[in-house]
Chains A and B, each alone.
Chain A
Amino acid sequence: MSEFLTKSRARNIFYGGSLFFIGIFGVLTIDSHLYIVNEATSKMPLTDEVVLGKHIWEKNSCINCHTLHGEGAYFAPEVGNVMTRWGVLDDPDDAAETLGAWMESQPSGIEGRRQMPHFELTDEEVRGLSEFLRWADKTNTQDWPPNDAG
């Protein structure tokens, strides 16, 4: 190895190979971008309500307790399929009402139970958040999670 693979050959392999893989990754990124927009997330339109909901989700740092499509903190339940779990996936009004009632009742204050903080949200914001979670639930995630427990 030592005679064939000189330092400058190793360097050139590093440069050339890296550029090759960056190129492939770039092409696959474009394809994935189009797939997400046109197929995976096309079941429900990306409305202003959904965008507002995403903003609420971010503003309150929900990701640092919950997971969403399995990503986030592992302190609180998965919410990528919470609307399925609650049986309100296809009923926007029921979804917003259920979510609003849940958030209103937090924190539970039960001793020895993980506590969700109280978030002051307007009805419009609760509606946005529930639409965002319904939108996420309708995303084609290759059938993940395995069951409703999330």
Chain B
Amino acid sequence: MKYSSQKVAYAYFVAALGLFAIQVLGGLLAGWIYVSPNFLSELLPFNIVRMLHTNALVVWLLLGFFGAAYFIIPEESEREIHSVKLAYIQLIILVVGTLGAVVSYLFGIHEGREFLEQPLWVKVGILVAALIFLFNISMTVLKGRKTAITNILVIGLWALSLLWLFAFYNPDNLSLDKMYWWYVIHLWVEGTWELVMASILGFLMLKLTGVDREVIEKWLYIIVATALFSGILGTGHHYYWIGTPGYWQWIGSIFSTLEVIPFFLMMTFSFVMVWKGRKNHPNKAALLWSLGSATVAFFGAGVWGFLHTLHGVNFYSHGTQITAAHGHLAFFGAYVALNLAVFTYAMPMLKARSPYNQVLNMASFWLMTGGMSFMTFVLTFAGTIQTHMQRVVGEDFMSVQDQLTVFYIMRFGAGAAVVLGALLFIYSVLVPRKELFTESTGSTPEAKAVLEGGR
């Protein structure tokens, strides 16, 4: 670690991991309710559990992005963070807001738009935190060295923060509500977040493979160009059936098909960089997570997204378990695995250790990725049957659901594997203290490489 202010990232990562645990446990509970629907039905109904599951996910991913930015930007800009104090204040606001939201959900206090259920004061808190963050990183970047990695990262973070403003706009007209709601939801995960993902992936490749910066940065601009060229009009694939004009069926089908390209490029980019790179970085687990993220994102977001994005297909599959299958693998591959990659890369430096417990960490990768893939397959089968019986044959929703029980049991098993993997990951990056070393004793080439971020 070259700059002491990078240490801020540690607090962000720990907070993110705490919420990660809440998220997967909430998911496991929701999966169990599918199997045994009377469980807790009066005390903690499904809708509350699901809010905890989705909201915890979004907030921990954002905390991870913020932490990653605080870790990456000093190294890229070659200077300390503008204000460490502001960075901690920002984190406190986010943690208080998140805990406040969790408690108020448990008491049934929430707003009612999917994923944007946070009470107004929490929404305002998120906005204030985002503004502090933007000020802090922009000041750092403006005074320091400018690179494509920081440029794309900062553009992505600015754009996602500005789009958050649409969370405050809730028109009385349901169709308008839905149209602008996607400005936050779609333009985050299929637009601005891809910029953040690409830049973090670029940074990891730069450090882990040692490939020339010029090469990496050119790739990055091509990747993010294809992401926005396809993703902005790709919003149209959400505008098929909500009261928006019919022309979106063509625009949405064409441009969201092209949304596969940036994910294909990110996967290709990662593997080409590893093949080209001659550096043998000791942090193998970080490399596994980076390559895994790019690969699973291609399948989850790219392939499973394309599976139901053409309007002729979506007419039948919209809002079935097919959507759930895609949502789970896409989020896991693109954003969960990427965050875990950057945690795995940074933690040894933040804690001044050699890249410890690679085996446990790598085992957690296979547990989580295996579990998530299995979950995606069984939900895809469930969704295919549901689509046919409910949408083609016209059988009643609940009687179709009753026939899908076997898939929900398998999904619960897959979810249990993911939870085990997640807890193992948290343990492996936080707890074991073997191979602890300090600046003075850490004189081996490996220790040097870790402390200096592989340079």
Contacts and interface: CB of A to CB of B under 8 A. Distances in A.
Contacts of A62: 47, 112
B112 A60 contact: yes
Interface in A1-58: 5-7, 10-11, 13-14, 17-18, 21-22, 24-25, 28-29, 31-33, 35-37, 40-41, 46, 50-51, 54, 57-58
A54 B174 contact: yes
Contact residues on A (Cβ < 8 Å of other chain), bracket: 35 or more
A86 interface: no
Given A69-B241, A141-B241, A61 B51 contact: yes
A71 B319 contact: yes
A80 B1 CA distance: 54
B324 interface: yes
A145 interface: yes
Contacts of A29: 179
Contacts of A107: 41-42
Contacts of B112: 57-63
B244 A36 contact: yes
Contact of B48 (A11, A36, A61, A68): A61
B251 to A, nearest CB: 7
A147 B232 contact: no
Given A64-B114, A73-B47, A13 B41 contact: no
A59 B248 CA distance: 31
Interface in A66-98: 67-78
Nearest to A114: B37
A147 B388 CA distance: 12
A113 B174 CA distance: 30
Nearest to A52: B172
A109 B244 CA distance: 39
Given A32-B244, A36-B179, A142-B249, A149 B396 contact: yes
B50 interface: yes
B192 to A, nearest CB: 11
B374 to A, nearest CB: 19
Contacts of A70: 241, 318-319
A148 interface: yes
Interface in B303-354: 315-316, 318-321, 323-324
B225 A115 contact: no
Chain B contact residues (Cβ within 8 angstroms of A): what range?
Answer: 35 or more
Given A64-B46, A149-B394, A144 B41 contact: no
A28 B251 contact: yes
B241 A144 contact: yes
B218 A74 contact: no
Contacts of B79: none
Contacts of B111: 58
B418 interface: no
A150 interface: yes
Contacts of B394: 147-149
Interface in B42-78: 42, 45-48, 50-51
Contacts of A10: 218, 221-222, 225
B176 A33 contact: yes
A28 B319 CA distance: 25
A79 B99 CA distance: 32
A51 B34 CA distance: 32
B96 to A, nearest CB: 22
Contacts of A112: 36-38
Interface of B: 33-34, 36-38, 41-42, 45-48, 50-51, 110-114, 117, 148, 172-179, 214, 217-218, 221-222, 224-225, 228-229, 232-233, 235, 238-246, 248-249, 251, 315-316, 318-321, 323-324, 390-392, 394-398, 401
20 contacts: A10-B221, A10-B222, A13-B225, A14-B224, A22-B232, A25-B232, A32-B245, A33-B179, A41-B243, A60-B112, A64-B48, A65-B47, A68-B174, A70-B319, A71-B238, A72-B319, A73-B50, A107-B41, A148-B394, A149-B395
Interface of A: 5-7, 10-11, 13-14, 17-18, 21-22, 24-25, 28-29, 31-33, 35-37, 40-41, 46, 50-51, 54, 57-65, 67-78, 107, 109, 111-115, 117, 132, 135-136, 139-142, 144-150
A-B residue pairs, 8 tightest by C-beta: A58-B112, A70-B319, A64-B47, A144-B241, A10-B221, A115-B41, A40-B243, A14-B225
